[in-house]
Amino acid sequence: MSLVAKKAAISIKDIARAANVSHSTVSRALRDSSLVNHETAERIRRIARDSNFRVSAVARGLATGRTSTIGVVVTAIGDPFNAEVVESIEEAANARGYSVALANSGANPDREMKVVQSFEERRVDGIIVMSSRVGALYVTHLTKMAVPVVLINNQHPGEFVYSVMIDNVPASEAATRYLIQLGHRRIAYFGRRGGFQADTERFAGYRKALEAAGLPVLDELVVRGESTPEGGMRAMQQLLDLPDPPTALFCYNDTSAIGAMRAARLRSLWVPGDISIMGFDDLAIASYVDPPLTTVRQPKRHMGRIATEILCNLLNGSKSESSRRLQGELIVRESTAPPKRRARSSAQHYRLIRPRSPAKSRGIV
């Protein structure tokens, strides 16, 4: 009786009764089948509309064996990179008549499998998993799995049949090469801890560029941690504490790069004057931080769209490519510049005119 009580939803039988036809006819009319007389169909639809009827997608799903739903699993919804990709997946899916079920994996392999399992129970038609920690292990499952899986930026070593990936090695190599061309010789790499495939590849690109330039890969300049602002801050502090700190830092992602910039500022260092910082991803925010971040763009929307297309093609059996490597794009902004250590004085200078926090300055007022 109360608002919350589950009232038995009205069904096509109710509509059938009202329209004085069989429920089969109602079903057809609602699906715009050409098998039903035009006027009858119109009448049925009007009645359905007037009575606020909603076909049960679950009953339909049971009858047809398709739910028109795709499951999306991400490591963290709140991560801006993921959020942008998910947005484009939802759009692409919607345009093709699919809804999206979303779940968090927390970058935990076990949890990821659980979530995929729950999607299987819900009989989603297909699954997209971002930053999978399970990756190729799906193939052993695949044979038993009725539902196709497409991976975006697979983080597990080894190939997976259906995937869209950023081509990390050349992207990272280009980024590092750019820093070298700027004149940097001591270039640090801040990677992601935890055995992520993208980290392995980006580090490989970094190493490749250094070696091509005849520069050594120095252990002290390679640090790994959480790919968060805090992680970036800690990494930067550690690097700055070195007897001979780097003049440039290449970060696993924009988020940690922004943290690194903050740490530099807190030490009264000027980016890029005292140290250049390069990110990866090109988040929406990257062009609005100060200085705007030089980074490697991942075509986020494109990745989501392609993954959805591959999945949908799989679903309706049309042949298409099964996997795609997308190229990153170096986006030069203002967080990188030629090294000029002698310019330390300007940093000093900078500090002098830096604002103090209102809390502190309040006393002055």
> Residues 253-292: x/- map of binding to a copy of itself (CB under 8 A)?
-----xx-xx--x----xxxx----------xx-xxxxx-
80 interacts with a copy of itself by CB under 8 A: yes
11 vs 104 by CB, closer to DNA: 11
- Binding piece for a copy of itself, criterion CB under 8 A, among 17-25, 38-46, 98-106, 185-193: 98-106
8 interacts with DNA by CB under 7 A: yes
Q: In what order do the strands lie in the sheet containing 276-278?
A: 222-225, 187-192, 248-251, 276-278
Give the tokens for residue 59. Answer: 């009953």
Spatial separation of the C-alpha atoms in residues 26 and 15, rounded to whole Å: 7
294 interacts with a copy of itself by CB under 8 A: yes
In the list DNA, a copy of itself, none, the entry touching 342 (Cβ below 5 to 8 angstroms by class) is: none
Spatial separation of the C-alpha atoms in residues 125 and 31, rounded to whole Å: 20
40 vs 322 by CB, closer to DNA: 40
42 vs 290 by CB, closer to DNA: 42
Quick one: which of 355, 259, 307 has its CA closest to 74? Answer: 307
123 vs 208 by CB, closer to a copy of itself: 123
Name residues contacting a copy of itself, limited to 337-356 (CB under 8 A). 337-338, 346, 349-350, 353, 355-356
46 interacts with a copy of itself by CB under 8 A: no
Name residues contacting DNA, limited to 11-50 (CB under 7 A). 11-13, 21-25, 27-28, 30-31, 34-38, 40-41
For the stretch 176-179, contacts whose Cβ atoms lie closer than 8 Å and that sit 24 or more positions apart, written own/partner, are 176/205, 176/206, 176/208, 176/209, 176/210, 176/250, 177/209, 177/212, 177/213, 178/278, 178/294, 178/330, 178/332, 178/336, 179/248, 179/250, 179/276, 179/278, 179/336
Spatial separation of the C-alpha atoms in residues 123 and 103, rounded to whole Å: 15
The site for DNA, by CB under 7 A, has a size of 30
In the list a copy of itself, DNA, none, the entry touching 37 (Cβ below 5 to 8 angstroms by class) is: DNA
**Which residues have CB under 8 Å from 338's CB, separation 6+?**
182, 183, 184
- Which residues sit opposite 195 in a β-bridge? none
Q: How far is the CB of 173 from a copy of itself (least distance, A)?
A: 18
Alpha helices (H) in the chain, listed in sequence order? 12-19, 23-30, 38-50, 57-64, 80-95, 109-121, 137-142, 168-181, 197-212, 229-240, 254-266, 300-315, 344-352, 358-361
Q: How far is the CB of 118 from a copy of itself (least distance, A)?
A: 7
C-alpha dist (Å) from residue 259 to 247, 282, 309, 329: 17, 15, 35, 22
212 interacts with a copy of itself by CB under 8 A: no
The site for a copy of itself, by CB under 8 A, has a size of 93
Q: How far is the CB of 146 from DNA (least distance, A)?
A: 10
170 interacts with a copy of itself by CB under 8 A: no
The total of other beta-carbon atoms located within 10 Å of residue 83's CB is: 15
Among 38, 78, 243, 342, the residue binding a copy of itself under the rule CB under 8 A is 78
57 interacts with a copy of itself by CB under 8 A: yes
Spatial separation of the C-alpha atoms in residues 96 and 88, rounded to whole Å: 13
> Residues 53-92: x/- map of binding to DNA (CB under 7 A)?
x-xx--xx-xxxx---------------------------
123 vs 301 by CB, closer to DNA: 123
Residues in contact with DNA by the rule CB under 7 A: 8-9, 11-13, 21-25, 27-28, 30-31, 34-38, 40-41, 53, 55-56, 59-60, 62-65
